[in-house]
């Protein structure tokens, strides 16, 4: 049984279809030149601008633009990386593991042959390991050795991932705790998530280990699962199938066994999907494990603080989503009150363009034919689970025609951009005549907000409070909207400190 994260989501959370109305090229005069699809990886305009589609999300940012001609329309891939030459790469850290590899390699190559995938096996070895090189040579061109770039398990896995030529990469141990036949199950479920974990601790999984190791493993996994708020039951399993282009781009640092947790947490914080498949962990057959329990535990715990900081930073793809269920009562109250006010103000107004959506739960409450827009792709990757079409674009040049949405929403965004930016003008431009604009921002004239912001800046340095560069007051925002021809209709506040105001554009 496939277990997703969170478990209640469908096994395959794919990106929804893009907006039905043609997107407009942000590099041309704003809102005028339509974009058309070129295959499933590009959007192009008649004036020669070209933008990528990544993970089903159009990326319409200035830095992503490419000039093109129809003769060269099949150029570089959308993420500017080399295309995969193979289907699958298996990476095996193999430091002094010749005895285990003798038995493993025939089983492994037989299983891989049976998948029908075009594959390679990379054995990452220490300097001068001639025995492993000899074993690799006996299995033909599909098996080769790599010298590890640094010492430690993490360095070996990172070396293999960097050299992988497959669209997918499997990491596994050489000493038989990871049965090679389980690769078939991982391969069959490869579309379910970008990171698929072979799990000992979900229903149907089990581990044949000494009691003390089982207890400590369970405790460590519980601490990390609860402490980092990621519902993965087996965060210490190194047996995984991953989409290569997803994990290759991650900013990984760990050199030892803590890479296992760092890779999973970092992938999740970048918006990639994680799922678990139950498997049976078995004892090694020869030699002594390099994963000494004390060393493993120290590396595991040593990485906790760094990963905790990442999980609780605004850089995490699900930061806004998680805040709705925050353990901090004030944050939870604030998010839920904002949700209630915003959904009330957009109700009955028709499809909504949510500009600067982040990964907020509000996305999941938008009506049919709505579109979520944000400048951060990893936030939109996480937001795929809400089933709303997403576009990665700047609020300074929205890729939509004039008057294309009857309701436009921008909650907690305008304080992050300069007051003289085109943001407010763009929100008004894409709003249809007679449509409603809902804008939310802190009210810096209130007594409470500056106090809360000062406390937040101290408690969470680097958080959203440090990004608030434009300080609006209610009279100022009302005047700014009136100057653009919009009439104020109604508003809500959160403890008088955050204002959420609704305006009407003349019909």
Residue-wise pLDDT tens digits, 343-380: 999 999 999 999 999 999 999 999 999 999 999 999 99
pLDDT in tens, 221-242: 999 999 999 999 999 899 999 9
pLDDT at 26: 93
In CATH, the number for domain 319-504 is 3.40.50.150
pLDDT in tens, 89-125: 999 998 877 888 888 999 999 999 999 999 999 999 8
Ranked by mean pLDDT, the top range of 3-12, 34-43, 164-173, 289-298 is 164-173
83 vs 490 pLDDT, higher one: 490
Question: Can you tell me the distance from the alpha carbon of 250 to that of 311, in angstroms, rounded to the nearest whole number?
Answer: 15
pLDDT in tens, 190-205: 999 999 999 999 999 9
Return the axis-axis angle of helices 304-311 and 293-302, rounded to nearest 10°. Answer: 30
Q: Which of 113, 88, 73 is nearest to 196 (CA)?
A: 88
Written out in words, the top-level CATH class of the domain with range 86-311 is alpha beta
Q: Is the pLDDT of residue 312 over 50?
A: yes
Quick one: which H or E segment has residue 147? strand 143-147
pLDDT at 80: 41
485 — pLDDT class (breaks 50, 70, 90): very high
State the average pLDDT over residues 139-151.
87
79 — pLDDT class (breaks 50, 70, 90): very low
Q: Is the pLDDT of residue 78 over 50?
A: no
Q: Distances from the Cα of 410 to the Cαs of 367, 418, 476, 490, 492, in angstroms?
A: 15, 15, 17, 16, 14
175 — pLDDT class (breaks 50, 70, 90): confident
State the average pLDDT over residues 270-294.
75
Q: Which of 283, 195, 202, 203 is nearest to 239 (CA)?
A: 195
State the average pLDDT over residues 402-406.
96
Ranked by mean pLDDT, the top range of 218-227, 402-411, 448-457 is 402-411
Helix (H, G, I), strand (E, B) or coil at 63: helix
Q: Is the pLDDT of residue 440 over 90?
A: yes
Q: Is the pLDDT of residue 2 over 70?
A: no
Residues 404, 410, 414, CA angle at the centre, nearest 5°?
125
Is residue 196 within 8 Å of residue 7, measured between CB atoms?
no
pLDDT in tens, 28-77: 998 899 999 988 889 999 999 999 999 899 999 987 887 544 434 444 44
**Residue-averaged pLDDT of the chain:** 88
Question: Can you tell me the distance from the alpha carbon of 416 to that of 375, in angstroms, rounded to the nearest whole number?
Answer: 12
Is residue 61 within 8 Å of residue 49, measured between CB atoms?
no
pLDDT at 267: 96
Question: Can you tell me the distance from the alpha carbon of 331 to that of 459, in angstroms, rounded to the nearest whole number?
Answer: 13
Question: Can you tell me the distance from the alpha carbon of 400 to that of 70, in angstroms, rounded to the nearest whole number?
Answer: 24
pTM score, whole prediction: 0.87
Q: Is the pLDDT of residue 284 over 80?
A: no
Q: In angstroms, how far is the first alpha carbon of the chain from the final one?
A: 54
| Domain layout of the chain by residue ranges | 24-73, 86-311, 319-504
Question: Can you tell me the distance from the alpha carbon of 269 to that of 321, in angstroms, rounded to the nearest whole number?
Answer: 12
Question: Domain 24-73 belongs to what topology?
Answer: N-terminal domain of TfIIb (2.20.25)
């Amino acid at each position: 049984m496939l277990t997703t994260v969170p478990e209640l989501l469908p096994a395959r959370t794919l990106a929804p279809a893009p907006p039905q109305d043609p997107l407009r090229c942000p590099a041309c005069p704003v809102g005028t030149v339509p974009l058309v699809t070129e295959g499933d990886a590009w959007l192009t305009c008649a004036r020669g601008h070209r933008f990528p589609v990544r993970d089903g999300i159009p990326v319409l940012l200035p830095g992503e633009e490419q000039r093109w001609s129809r003769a060269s329309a099949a150029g570089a891939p959308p993420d500017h990386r080399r295309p995969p030459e193979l289907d699958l790469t298996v990476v095996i850290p193999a430091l002094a593991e010749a005895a285990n590899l003798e038995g493993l390699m025939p089983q492994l190559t037989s299983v891989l042959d049976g998948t029908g995938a075009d594959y390679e096996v990379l054995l990452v070895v220490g300097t001068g390991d001639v025995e492993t090189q000899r074993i690799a040579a006996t299995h033909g061109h599909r098996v080769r050795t790599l010298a590890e770039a640094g010492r430690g398990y993490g360095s070996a896995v990172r070396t293999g991932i960097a050299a992988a030529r497959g669209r997918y990469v499997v990491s596994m141990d050489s000493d038989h705790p990871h049965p090679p036949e389980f690769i078939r199950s991982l391969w069959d479920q490869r579309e379910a998530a970008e990171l698929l974990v072979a799990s000992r601790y979900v229903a149907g999984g089990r581990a044949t280990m000494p009691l003390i190791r089982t207890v400590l493993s369970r405790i460590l996994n519980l601490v990390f699962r609860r402490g980092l708020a990621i519902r993965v039951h087996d965060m210490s399993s190194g047996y995984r199938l991953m989409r290569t282009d997803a994990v290759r781009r991650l900013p990984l640092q760990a050199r030892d066994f803590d890479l296992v947790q760092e890779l999973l947490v970092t992938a999740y914080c970048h918006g990639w999907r994680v799922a678990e498949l139950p498997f049976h962990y078995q004892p090694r057959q020869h030699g002594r494990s390099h994963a000494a329990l004390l060393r493993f535990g120290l590396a595991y715990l040593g990485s906790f603080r760094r990963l905790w900081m990442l999980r609780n930073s605004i850089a995490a793809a699900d930061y806004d989503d998680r805040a709705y269920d925050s353990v901090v009562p004030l944050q939870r109250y604030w998010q839920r009150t904002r949700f209630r006010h915003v959904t009330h103000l957009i109700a009955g107004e028709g499809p909504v363009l949510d500009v600067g959506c982040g990964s907020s739960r509000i996305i999941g409450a938008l009506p049919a034919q709505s579109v979520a827009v944000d400048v951060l792709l990893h936030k939109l990757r996480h937001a795929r689970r809400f089933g709303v079409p997403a576009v990665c674009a700047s609020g300074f040049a929205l890729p939509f025609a004039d008057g294309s949405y009857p309701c436009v929403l921008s909650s907690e965004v305008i304080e992050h951009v300069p007051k003289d930016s085109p943001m407010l003008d763009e929100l008004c431009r894409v709003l249809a005549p007679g449509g409603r604009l809902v804008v939310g921002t802190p009210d810096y004239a209130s007594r409470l907000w500056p106090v809360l912001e000062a406390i937040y800046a101290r408690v969470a340095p680097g958080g959203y409070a440090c990004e608030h560069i434009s300080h609006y007051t209610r009279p100022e925002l009302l005047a700014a909207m009136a100057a653009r021809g919009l009439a104020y209709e109604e508003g809500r506040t959160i403890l008088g400190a955050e204002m959420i105001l609704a305006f009407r554009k003349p019909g």
